[in-house]
Amino acid sequence: MIGREFEKFWNNYFNQTIPLNYLFKEVYHERWLRIHSLPQSKRYPDNDLEMNIILQRQNQIISDIYNENEEIYLVMANIIHKKEKHELINFYPNLNFERSYSIELEKHFSNNFNKGEILDVFVCEKKWNLNSYDEILKDIANDISRVFFISLNNKIIVSPYDGGIDIIFNFETDKNIHKEKYKEWISNRIDEL
């Protein structure tokens, strides 16, 4: 049931792309903000201290965007080949991800994906609570997992990656407010990567 609800939700609010997190910054560039998780834009943590910095920053940022107990979708999208069995590679059995739908990637992006590659989308509905998703955030920081969050209320995407967080706001003004607020954690590069 949640899988169908999510597909409808996605098509209503984010139909300019598919739920594949690295595409968000290209499609929604005006509303996109990238915040780095470690000082000097360091990508991966080398020790527990750096992992704690990542968790502190990411929880702070997400809690600044989502309210405590706000309803969110957690989305996990896996690229598989059509011949492979459609199953969730699930590191988080307690979250009860449900298969939502599949997308034949070459129909949408014929130059970027091989014939037969499919995006399998899995989703669960939860509530945002500070530090409740630290296991997931650690896995993402170490490039073990790919999960992103979407608020059901304000429709803001928060997509952690191995190096930081990409956020898709509703309005460019909201992006600019957070860009100023977190300017010390934002890249100095012109492309803001």
Per residue in 59-88, pLDDT tens?
Answer: 999 999 999 999 999 999 888 766 665 555
> What's the burial of 87, exposed, middle or buried (CB within 10 Å: 0-12/13-18/19+)?
exposed
- Output the pLDDT for position 192: 65
Q: Do the beta carbons of residue 54 and residue 48 sit within 8 Å?
A: no
**Within-domain flag for 35:** yes
Which range has the worst mean pLDDT, 3-12, 106-115, 122-131? 106-115
Which residue range forms the structural domain that includes residue 24? 2-185
133/22: higher pLDDT: 133
Whole-angstrom distance, CA of residue 166 vs CA of residue 149: 11
Percent of the chain with pLDDT over 70: 91
The per-residue b/e assignment along 22-56, b for 16 or more CB within 10 angstroms, e otherwise, is eebbeebeebbbbbbbbeebeeebeeeebbeebbe
Which range has the worst mean pLDDT, 22-26, 45-49, 150-154, 187-191? 187-191
Total domains in the fold of the chain: 1
Q: Do the beta carbons of residue 191 and residue 110 sit within 8 Å?
A: no
Q: Do the beta carbons of residue 70 and residue 128 sit within 8 Å?
A: yes
What 3-state class would DSSP assign to 100?
strand
pLDDT digits (tens, 9 = 90+) for 141-159: 999 888 999 999 999 999 9
**Within-domain flag for 52:** yes
Two tokens, residue 73: 């979708």
pLDDT score of 118 more than 90: no
Residue 53: which residues within 8 A CB-CB, separation 6 or more?
Answer: 37, 38, 39, 45
**Within-domain flag for 192:** no
- Output the pLDDT for position 76: 92
**Within-domain flag for 190:** no
Q: Do the beta carbons of residue 51 and residue 138 sit within 8 Å?
A: yes
**Within-domain flag for 28:** yes
- Output the pLDDT for position 80: 76
First to last CA, the chain: 37
